[in-house]
Every structure is written in structure tokens, then in C-alpha cells.
């Protein structure tokens, strides 16, 4: 260790435990290098002195990265953002956010990954490895159970132990395998104690159970009583807190905390400083290559949800209307600390399509309805002019979205703005071939208009390359391969929480482990588009399932996927495990592995995945540990959570002394 905490005075030690300012650690009277932290998950978000945001590559938001189901792309995403961090002097990137998407109303779903803890954890782990491979640190956040923006500073998330471990902690448990340099605690209380003061969460679980050796930092302003946070082993209070030193000194004098407590946290800060100093920062992409990476990820993360009559890809020799304000001004990402300011000139979709398909005719119509205004009668009159144009076309590409997804507040509805719903239905009256592009950050209830349109492409908040990726998919240059990482319900009322937001004091997570597809499965609720769903221009056949036992609870699952179409493509296959008989209530099935493979036209690929103890385990509140019950389990291989193609059964037989008595 280069820095010995014994060379620091008590004042210097305590000063080290809170920021020097909004973004840097203390220098302890110039003795130490300051660590510079900066947002955010979708690209570097660093503020200038005047409050403006530095320019950086606007990457696809993490919701789109998750829809790639491709760990290599998540790694590439992290690497690329690290390049911008290095260019601008950031040592630690305050990302990724892995909070589970418990409700589609959450304002920050765009910057989170999934409703499924395994997918969220695996993709975050790859992202962290990507960022840190370039010598930049990360901050895995927000630990934990921060699943809404409303009341986020005060409302307790009341969560039972199983749901906590199986759903809300699981992404952190998996992602800490990548050894993030920091973990950020959330604002909210968990089971009645602020996350920043919750020793059971920070020390007993994150550090002792998960084996986390790095630094724990507060969310900005999440520390209420500094000495209580310190006692819970929260190492670094951000941003600078002027009351911190006195509060800790008084607590030390009163015996509420010890020098051992202080030194433990000081050592973690010194370790971070040394990690930063020893890190070899390496830029490996030019600005152009960073944009190319953004495009590659966007193309891999867009999801084709509907394609009736195979209207997509677009055909040569046809006439198309490209309509909608967003076709020229797409939403690259959501608002708040995850906002990224790019200087990349996003091309209008219509121009890109003209370049991609010179043998077809594309006309742009701004259509007077703005993204978020209820069209007045004048608008609709003027719009009628556009509808008459629409009627003369072979198809209409309608670009719609929701500009209101942001940190600090939640969505009030999961439907598109009424103006957009009316626009879609009006245009569909004049042309039966409507293709909708959805520029949104989270699930949308499309029931009002989905039957009026022929195709829906979820472009998402796909960053600065959004229109290039959309044009590549629409023109057929790229075959869509993304799949949903969250369920799209038929309506908000079908979700567990509906429009419930809690009372500002406590939100009881009475859904337990039944979150996302686990909820819809348990209650037999139909959905619009299921978790793991996404169409391709190819068709894939699954067969020849083989399951080999490799240990007590270790199996190798292999199966063939054949591309039975004439178009090269990529397929995401998903492995779900079902506990046929259990002494505790369990979800019908749970995602336990997945694979994305490129499969050429006519090609058959043999896919092999491994299932270990984790794949069969639930969290036992008796043993306060993960536990597998002996007995039969089904292994399901699916193209989505609702499209199970192959099934097999295994009999898990662990040593009997580890089993409780069976009835």
C-alpha cells in the first residue's frame, strides 16, 4: 500500500470520508490524489462549470443494451464510454444502474436493464468489465430496492428476505463478480432503515455474503446521519457534506463509533485512490469508432414486435411516407443524471432511407402534431392534408415516442400521449400499411392501436445512432435480433402495482418474488408482448435437446437451432428452470441461462449452456442462504418466456444431510 492511513491526522481521515465538492474525493491537505467521479450509464455526463454538459458519445440506453442479450455488446458499451471518461479526466463512471423493473411506471427504467435479475446482473457484469478494462472505475447502483422515482428519498421499500435476495439483490450479487471499484447505495430506506445506514445490507450482505471488497459510496445526498452511515460501513458520503466532520467527531467522543470504524472506511477510500493511481487508462477508440460502436449496439438492441404480412423489410420500388416530428428529432435517451449531450448530427430517418433504398420513394411529413401536444382541430385539419398524402403511399412509417422518461419522476401512464394514439389511428384510416417506430424507454400499452397497424419496431432510447440503426433494420441491411428485457403488458391494471405508488412512507412489496413475467405467469395474465420476445426476418427451428448430468446440481444443456429461412440472422435462446415440487412457493419458471448466436440461412448450430447450483436454488430464510431441494426440475428452452420450444426433466439428488425433511 502506497498510502498509510497512520500518516493521516484524525481530521484528515474524517475529511477523506466525504467529498471535496460535487464530484471529487478530498486531497487531505494535498497529500492524496483526488478521485473524479462522473455519470452516467448511457455515456459520459459531465457538467461544465456553467452547468452545461460536456459533449460525449450518446450510447444506446441500458434498456436497449439489455435487449441485445449480448454480453459482448454490453462489454463494448462499457469500453466505449470509458474512452470518453478518459478523454475528460473521469476516474470513476457512476454506472451501471441495475434496479429491477418492478413497475413500467418507473421514470428511470430507460437507464436500467431488466425485470429479470439474472439478465440484469449478467449484462451489468459485462458492462463493468468493459469499463474497467480501460482503467476507469464503475459504481454499481442503486443498492438497493430503488424501483420508483416518486418518494425515492423517503419511502421505505418493505421487502421480504426471499424477494430481496432472489429479485432485488441478485443483480448486485452477480455484477459484483466483476469487482466494481464502487457500489452506490440508494436513497430509500429498505425495511425501515435508510440504505445509507443499513449495516445488514452494506456490511452483512454486500461485504460479507457477496464478498465485495471495494468502496461503498452514497447516492448524492443519501447520507442523513453521517456516523450511522459510517457505522454501517458506508465509506464515502457524496457530495461534500459540511456537517460530516463534526457529526463524526461528536459520535467518536460519545463512543457511538470507534477509530476502528473510521479506519475501516478510510482504508477503503485509500484503496480506491491507489486503484485509480495504478490503473492504466487506455483509449482504444476514435470518436468515429465510438459512434460505430453505438450503432452496432443500437442495431442489436432494437426489437421487432410486429411484422404482419412481412411488410418489413421495406421493399424496392415502393412509395413510403415517413411521418412524425421524431423522425427528424428522435429521443436519444432519458432525462436526469443519465442524460448525455452529443454533438453528433443525427440524420433524419427519411434521408437515411433514401440513401439505403434508392429504388424506392420516401417523402417526409412532419405532421403538425408534436410529440406531446394534444392536436387541436386546426392541427387535425392540417394533418388531414398529410393523411391525403398517406393515402397515396404503399406504406407509412410513423415515428412516435414518449419524451417524458426521466430521473426524479415516474410516468403517469404507460400509454402513448393521446395525440399520438389519435394520429396512429387517423393515419391507419387512410393507409392500411402503417409501420410504427416506438421511441420510448420502457413498456407501452399499445392496445388502443396495435390492431390498426401492420408493424411495430421498438427503437427505444437508442442513442445518437438511433436513426442509422432504424434505417438499417427497416431496409433489411440489418436483421433485427433484439428481444424484450421487460414484459409489455396489455394495460397498467394488469401489472401487480397498477397505478399504486405507496403513501410516501412505506411501499410494501407484497408481490414478493412474483415480479415481471413471474407475476403474469403466477396469475395467468395474458400480456401484449412477453419477456424475451422479439421477431427476426429469419425463422428458427429448435430441436435435439440433450441434458447431461455433470454433478449433483450441475448439468450441460445442448440443443440445435436451425435457421430455416433464406436470411442470415441471430437468435437469442433462453433457458428457464421450473421446480416441479417445492416446499416453498416458487415462480412457474425462472431465466437461468441464455445464448445469442449468429446462424446463417440454412445453417444448424449446436448450442450448449451450463446450469449450476444457482439455476435450481431459492433463497432459504431458514438457512439464510441459497438452497436446492432434491427432486424433479423441468428445463425449458424458449425463443421467449412464452414460446417454449423444447422441454426436458432432471432429477436433482444432493446429499440427504443437506436436505430438510420432505413431507
d(CA 460, CA 439) in angstroms, rounded, equals 5
| Helical residues (DSSP H) of 204-286, grouped into ranges | 226-231, 244-253, 259-278
d(CA 110, CA 442) in angstroms, rounded, equals 6
* Residues sharing a CB contact under 8 Å with residue 376, sequence separation 6 or more, in sequence order: none
Indicate the angle between helix axes 71-87 and 117-132, nearest 10 degrees: 40
* CB closer to ligand GLC out of 94 and 305: 94
* CB closer to ligand GLC out of 39 and 507: 39
d(CA 557, CA 545) in angstroms, rounded, equals 7
Label residue 517 exposed, middle or buried (CB < 10 Å: 0-12, 13-18, 19+): buried
Shortest gap between Cβ of 220 and ligand GLC (angstroms)? 4
94 lies in the site for ligand GLC, by CB under 6 A: yes
Shortest gap between Cβ of 223 and ligand GLC (angstroms)? 13
Least Cα distance to 101 among 52, 67, 60, 127 occurs for 67
| Helical residues (DSSP H) of 431-497, grouped into ranges | 466-475
Q: Given the residues 219, 402, 445, 579, select the one marked as catalytic.
A: 219
Shortest gap between Cβ of 337 and ligand GLC (angstroms)? 4
Active site residue 309: no
Q: In b/e form, how buried is each residue of 624-659, taking b as 16+ CB within 10 angstroms?
A: eebbbbbbebbbbbbbbbbebbbeeebebebeeeee
At residue 236's C-alpha, the angle toward residues 231 and 241, to 5°, is 100
* CB closer to ligand GLC out of 141 and 645: 141
Least Cα distance to 519 among 293, 619, 527, 506 occurs for 527
Pairing outcome for strands 156-158 and 506-508: parallel
3-state SS, residue 19:
coil
Shortest gap between Cβ of 39 and ligand GLC (angstroms)? 5
Shortest gap between Cβ of 546 and ligand GLC (angstroms)? 44
Q: Quick one: DSSP state of residue 204?
A: I
Element (H, E) at 606: strand 604-611
149 lies in the site for ligand GLC, by CB under 6 A: no
Indicate the angle between helix axes 244-253 and 259-278, nearest 10 degrees: 140
* CB closer to ligand GLC out of 99 and 365: 99
Shortest gap between Cβ of 222 and ligand GLC (angstroms)? 8
Residue list 195-254, contact with ligand GLC (CB under 6 A) = 219-220
Residue list 323-362, contact with ligand GLC (CB under 6 A) = 337
* CB closer to ligand GLC out of 94 and 557: 94
* CB closer to ligand GLC out of 22 and 250: 22
For the chain, state the CA radius of gyration: 25
Q: How many residues bind ligand GLC (CB under 6 A)?
A: 6
* CB closer to ligand GLC out of 9 and 22: 22
- Cell 447450483 appears where? 613
39 lies in the site for ligand GLC, by CB under 6 A: yes
Residue list 123-142, contact with ligand GLC (CB under 6 A) = 141
* Residues sharing a CB contact under 8 Å with residue 345, sequence separation 6 or more, in sequence order: none
430 with 171: CB under 8 angstroms? no
* CB closer to ligand GLC out of 98 and 628: 98
d(CA 47, CA 39) in angstroms, rounded, equals 9
Q: Just list the catalytic residues.
A: 219
The footprint of ligand GLC (CB under 6 A) covers 39, 94, 141, 219-220, 337
Amino acid at each position: 500500500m502506497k498510502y498509510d492511513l497512520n500518516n493521516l491526522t484524525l481530521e484528515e481521515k474524517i475529511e477523506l470520508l466525504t467529498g471535496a465538492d460535487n464530484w471529487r474525493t478530498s486531497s487531505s491537505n494535498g497529500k492524496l490524489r483526488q478521485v473524479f467521479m462522473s455519470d452516467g450509464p448511457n455515456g459520459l455526463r459531465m457538467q461544465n462549470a456553467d452547468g452545461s454538459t460536456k459533449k460525449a458519445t450518446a450510447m444506446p440506453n441500458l434498456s436497449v443494451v439489455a435487449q441485445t442479450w449480448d454480453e459482448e455488446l454490453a462489454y463494448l458499451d462499457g469500453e466505449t464510454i470509458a474512452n470518453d471518461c478518459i478523454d475528460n479526466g473521469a476516474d470513476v463512471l457512476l454506472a451501471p444502474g441495475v434496479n429491477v423493473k418492478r413497475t413500467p411506471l418507473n421514470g428511470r427504467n430507460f437507464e436500467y436493464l431488466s425485470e429479470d435479475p439474472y439478465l440484469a446482473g449478467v449484462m451489468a457484469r459485462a458492462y463493468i468489465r468493459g469499463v474497467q478494462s480501460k482503467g476507469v472505475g464503475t459504481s454499481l447502483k442503486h443498492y438497493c430496492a430503488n424501483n420508483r422515482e416518486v418518494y425515492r428519498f423517503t419511502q421505505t421499500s418493505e421487502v421480504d428476505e426471499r424477494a430481496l435476495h432472489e429479485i432485488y439483490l441478485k443483480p448486485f450479487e452477480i455484477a459484483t463478480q466483476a469487482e466494481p471499484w464502487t457500489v452506490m447505495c440508494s436513497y430509500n430506506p429498505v425495511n425501515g432503515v435508510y440504505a445509507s445506514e443499513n449495516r445488514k445490507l452494506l456490511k452483512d450482505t454486500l461485504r460479507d455474503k457477496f464478498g465485495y471488497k471495494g468502496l461503498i459510496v452514497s447516492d448524492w445526498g443519501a447520507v442523513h446521519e453521517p456516523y450511522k452511515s459510517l457505522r454501517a460501513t458506508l465509506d464515502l458520503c457524496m457530495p461534500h457534506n459540511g456537517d460530516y466532520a463534526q457529526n463524526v467527531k461528536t459520535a467518536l467522543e460519545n463512543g457511538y463509533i470507534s477509530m476502528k470504524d473510521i479506519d475501516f472506511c478510510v482504508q477503503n477510500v485509500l484503496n480506491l485512490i491507489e486503484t485509480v493511481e495504478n490503473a492504466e487508462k487506455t483509449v482504444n477508440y476514435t470518436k468515429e469508432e465510438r459512434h460505430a460502436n453505438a450503432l452496432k449496439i443500437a442495431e442489436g438492441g432494437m426489437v421487432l414486435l410486429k411484422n404482419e404480412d412481412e411488410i418489413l423489410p421495406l421493399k424496392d420500388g415502393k412509395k413510403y411516407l415517413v411521418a412524425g416530428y421524431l423522425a427528424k428529432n428522435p429521443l436519444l435517451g432519458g432525462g436526469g443524471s443519465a442524460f448525455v449531450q452529443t454533438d453528433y448530427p443525427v440524420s433524419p430517418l427519411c434521408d437515411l432511407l433514401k440513401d439505403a433504398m434508392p429504388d424506392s420513394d420516401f417523402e417526409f411529413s412532419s405532421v403538425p402534431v408534436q410529440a406531446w401536444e394534444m392536436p387541436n382541430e386546426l392541427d387535425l385539419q392540417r394533418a388531414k392534408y398529410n393523411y391525403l398524402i398517406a393515402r397515396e403511399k404503399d406504406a407509412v412509417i410513423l415515428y412516435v415516442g414518449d419524451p417524458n422518461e426521466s430521473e426524479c419522476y415516474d410516468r403517469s401512464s404507460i400509454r402513448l400521449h393521446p395525440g399520438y394514439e389519435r394520429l396512429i389511428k387517423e393515419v391507419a384510416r387512410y393507409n392500411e400499411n402503417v409501420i410504427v417506430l416506438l421511441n420510448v424507454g420502457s413498456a407501452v400499452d399499445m392496445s388502443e392501436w396495435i390492431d390498426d397497424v401492420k408493424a411495430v419496431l421498438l427503437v427505444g432510447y437508442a442513442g445518437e445512432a438511433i436513426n442509422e440503426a432504424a434505417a438499417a433494420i427497416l431496409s433489411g441491411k440489418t436483421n433485427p435480433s433484439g428481444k424484450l428485457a421487460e414484459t409489455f403488458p396489455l394495460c397498467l391494471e394488469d401489472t401487480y402495482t397498477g397505478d399504486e405508488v405507496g403513501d410516501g412512507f412505506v411501499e410494501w412489496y407484497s408481490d414478493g418474488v412474483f415480479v415481471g413475467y413471474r407475476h403474469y405467469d403466477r396469475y395467468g395474465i395474458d400480456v401484449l408482448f412477453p419477456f424475451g420476445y422479439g421477431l427476426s426476418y429469419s425463422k428458427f427451428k429448435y430441436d435435439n435437446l440433450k441434458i447431461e448430468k455433470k454433478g449433483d446440481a450441475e448439468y450441460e444443456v445442448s440443443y440445435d437451432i436451425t435457421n430455416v429461412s433464406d436470411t442470415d440472422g441471430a437468435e437469442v435462446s433462453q433457458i428457464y428452470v421450473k421446480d416441479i415440487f417445492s416446499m416453498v412457493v416458487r415462480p412457474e419458471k425462472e431465466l437461468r441461462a441464455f445464448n445469442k448466436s449468429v446462424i446463417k440461412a440454412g445453417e444448424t448450430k449446436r448450442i450448449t449452456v451450463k446450469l449450476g447450483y444457482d439455476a435450481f436454488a431459492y433463497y432459504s430464510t431458514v438457512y439464510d442462504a441459497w438452497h436446492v431441494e432434491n427432486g424433479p426440475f423441468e428445463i425449458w428452452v424458449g425463443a421467449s418466456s412464452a414460446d417454449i420450444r423444447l422441454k426436458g426433466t432432471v432429477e436433482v439428488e444432493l446429499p440427504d444431510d443437506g436436505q430438510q425433511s420432505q413431507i
